[in-house]
């Protein structure tokens, strides 16, 4: 809570409206020291924490955007995410949607219409279902996976999404890592219809 409170204050001072919030985790497989938490305990802790943070966020004019997290066992469907966010009855609790984090079992184009106007920010993250694995290496550079980007973009257009798009990737190139910036920019131009 202390860290999240500081993030809210930093956002206010920097003049930004959005803070990404990881609402909770039943399990974090990439953190071996993290013991699994029962689902009801995870949910209770998340609710308690957000209820304490919401007044601070409202006062600061900052949105707490809940991110769907890869393999954490919490809020694994768009319906769960919507019900959880809406339960706080605050316009300052919204959603930071990550396209890649649900690709192992689901499809981002199915989430977008359900999350709808609650989406304040987006991580564009690529995933490759062909790899049949469940680890961070199945995340790929944009357009080098199996995400149906035309369908995702179409669904974002339908909800008139005009917020930020942030590319997220875990594996910088071993050589010439700056090339990833140009590759990502080019991929986004194709995805957003700036090139044809």
What CATH number does residue 121 fall under? 3.20.20.150
- The three-class DSSP label of residue 93 is strand
Is residue 56 within a helix (H) or strand (E), and if so which, with residue range? helix 39-60
Q: 120 to each of 150, 160, 164, 173, how far by Cα in Å?
A: 20, 11, 8, 30
On whether residue 165 sits in a domain, the answer given is yes
Domain region containing 149: 2-191
pLDDT at 179: 94
Backbone angles phi, psi at 96, to 5 degrees: -105, 105
Residue 34 makes CB contacts below 8 A (sequence gap 6+) with 25, 27, 28
On whether residue 9 sits in a domain, the answer given is yes
Q: How many domains is the chain built from?
A: 1
Is residue 164 within a helix (H) or strand (E), and if so which, with residue range? strand 164-167
Closest CA to 122 of 54, 71, 68, 63: 68
On whether residue 24 sits in a domain, the answer given is yes
pLDDT < 50 regions, the chain: none
pLDDT at 95: 99
On whether residue 147 sits in a domain, the answer given is yes
On whether residue 196 sits in a domain, the answer given is no
pLDDT at 71: 84
On whether residue 56 sits in a domain, the answer given is yes
Q: Cα–Cα distance between 73 and 28 in angstroms, integer?
A: 8
Share of the chain residues as helix, strand and coil, in percent rounded to the nearest 5: 45, 15, 40
Could you tell me if residue 151 is left (phi over 0), alpha (psi between -120 and 50 degrees) or otherwise beta?
Answer: alpha
Q: Tokens representing 158? A: 């339908």
pLDDT at 22: 95
């Amino acid at each position: 809570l202390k860290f999240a409170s500081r993030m809210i204050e930093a956002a206010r001072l920097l003049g930004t409206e959005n803070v990404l919030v990881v609402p909770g985790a039943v399990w974090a497989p990439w953190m071996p020291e993290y013991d699994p938490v029962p689902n009801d305990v995870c949910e209770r802790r998340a609710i308690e924490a957000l209820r304490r943070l919401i007044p601070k966020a409202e006062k600061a004019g900052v949105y707490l955007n809940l991110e769907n997290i890869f393999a954490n066992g919490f809020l694994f469907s768009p319906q769960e995410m919507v019900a959880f966010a809406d339960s706080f009855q605050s316009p300052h609790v919204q959603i930071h949607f990550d396209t890649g984090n649900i690709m192992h079992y689901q499809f981002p184009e199915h989430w977008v219409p359900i999350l709808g106007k609650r989406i304040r920010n987006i991580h564009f993250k690529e995933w490759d279902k062909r790899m049949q694995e469940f680890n961070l290496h199945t995340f790929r550079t944009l357009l080098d996976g199996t995400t149906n980007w035309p369908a995702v973009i179409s669904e974002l257009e339908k909800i008139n999404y005009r917020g930020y798009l942030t590319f997220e990737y875990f594996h910088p190139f071993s050589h010439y890592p700056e090339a990833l910036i140009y590759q990502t920019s080019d991929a986004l131009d194709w995805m957003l219809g700036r090139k044809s």
